[in-house]
Amino acid sequence: MAPVRVAVVGMGFMGRTHLGAYARAQSAGEPCVVAGVCDRDHAKCRAKARAPGAAGVAAQGDAGGNLDTDGDEVDGVLARADLLRFTELDALLASDQIDLVSICTHTDTHAPFAERALRAGKHVLVEKPVAITSAAIDALADVADASGLVCMPAMCMRFWPGWDWLAQTIGEGSMGRVLSARFERLGAAPGWGEGFYSDAGRSGGALFDLHVHDADFIRYAFGMPGRVDSVGTEAHVSTRYEVAGGPGLLIAEGGWLNAPGAAFRMRFVVEFERGVADFDLARDPALLVHDASGSRTPELKSGTGYDHEVRHAVRLAAGLETVPIATMREAADVTRILEAERDSIRVGGPGRPAALGTTDQGRAAAPAGAKR
């Protein structure tokens, strides 16, 4: 089988994260090769480049992994003489040496860049949030459906070791029904991005850039909420979700703390009928399960959610897997949830996500990720 030839577009913090994940996938024997990179700043496409503001944030990452985004592994790829380097997206898309494109640019370019890639015949992995309006994602999903190509949102928590275990446990019901669930994701605002993240009109603020991970996981594991009640601000929000057949207490808190040195927290506490699952990224082991027999540590996959999401995208592009764990229609649903949360914050009352259209509400019964 010919390897899937991958290019990463946008060589900032997240672009380097994707690049490292593809390099590890290639080393692990996945059918892929990093063939190209693209950034308007040509220096970032070469070894020893550094994303502005990225130094010192490797322990935080985006979703919260212990990521060596500026490590030798990434620089090793960027030092290769055969690596294609582009400063213009159109030049990359015109190349017949690229099969799959990772879009890791600023949020307001995600949907238009992904559409251009699809129209050029490329498979696409799009960083989250895909866009800050559900209408923009719906439009991209229409183009993706017509193309017949892979167009996958990079919803990394569906793949994160410990979180994939949780989705599977909820779907299988092996610990009984979920009685309560609480998710927490807090940390300092990104110090990179040249002021992009502080412009909520472009980034969506912490609501769309950080809290999106937990809104997505709730949609994935429990189903589409019929109502949300949010308090706080778009920079730091706490939301209670009502999901048909879901737990009576389902809460997620997320936001950027007003301190540049604030430690990152990524945690869940989920109470089942027959035990409690407790994940804390800052702890080793991160996942503990407490039940009548005591406490135990489930065996988890190695790596991060980024590693597993890019491998899944590669295998979809190669035809080795056919059922995507994350779809663009689901990304549109998640953005509808965030739009409802934003409305709830602004009006001081409950919000209701817009109609689902053609999306599937059956994921709560058996999350796709639980089968892999």
What whole-number distance in Å separates Cα of residue 372 and Cα of residue 370?
A: 6
Query: Residue 260: exposed, middle, or buried by beta-carbon count in 10 A (0-12, 13-18, 19+)?
Result: exposed
User: In the chain, where does DSSP find H-type helix?
Assistant: 13-27, 72-78, 89-94, 107-119, 134-147, 163-172, 200-203, 205-209, 212-222, 305-318, 328-347
What whole-number distance in Å separates Cα of residue 297 and Cα of residue 271?
A: 16
Cis upstream peptide for 225 (omega within 30°): no
Which of 140, 116, 110 minimizes the C-alpha distance to 14?
Answer: 110
pTM of the model: 0.90
Checking if the pLDDT of 7 tops 50, the result is yes
What whole-number distance in Å separates Cα of residue 126 and Cα of residue 43?
A: 23
DSSP state of 162: T
Strand partners, 287: 279
What whole-number distance in Å separates Cα of residue 235 and Cα of residue 186?
A: 10
At residue 168, the 3 state secondary structure works out as helix
Q: Measuring CA to CA, how many Å separate 286 from each of 12, 241, 250, 313?
A: 28, 25, 21, 26
- Whether the CB-CB separation of 11 and 44 falls below 8 Å is answered with yes
- Whether the CB-CB separation of 58 and 68 falls below 8 Å is answered with yes
Q: Where in the chain is the domain with CATH 3.30.360.10?
A: 158-302+332-371
Q: Which CATH class is domain 4-155+308-326?
A: alpha beta
What whole-number distance in Å separates Cα of residue 127 and Cα of residue 19?
A: 13
**What pLDDT sits at residue 349?**
76
Q: What is the pLDDT of residues 108-121, one digit of tens each?
A: 999 999 999 999 99
- Whether the CB-CB separation of 99 and 122 falls below 8 Å is answered with yes
Lowest mean pLDDT among 45-49, 110-114, 179-183, 276-280: 45-49
Domain 158-302+332-371, classified CATH 3.30.360.10, yes or no: yes
Lowest mean pLDDT among 46-55, 68-77, 163-172, 239-248: 46-55
Q: Where in the chain is the domain with CATH 3.40.50.720?
A: 4-155+308-326
- Whether the CB-CB separation of 104 and 18 falls below 8 Å is answered with yes
What whole-number distance in Å separates Cα of residue 318 and Cα of residue 138?
A: 25
Q: What is the pLDDT of residues 290-332, one digit of tens each?
A: 999 999 999 999 999 999 999 999 999 999 999 999 999 999 9
Q: What is the pLDDT of residues 335-356, one digit of tens each?
A: 999 999 999 999 987 778 874 3
Taking residues 201-206, report their average pLDDT: 88
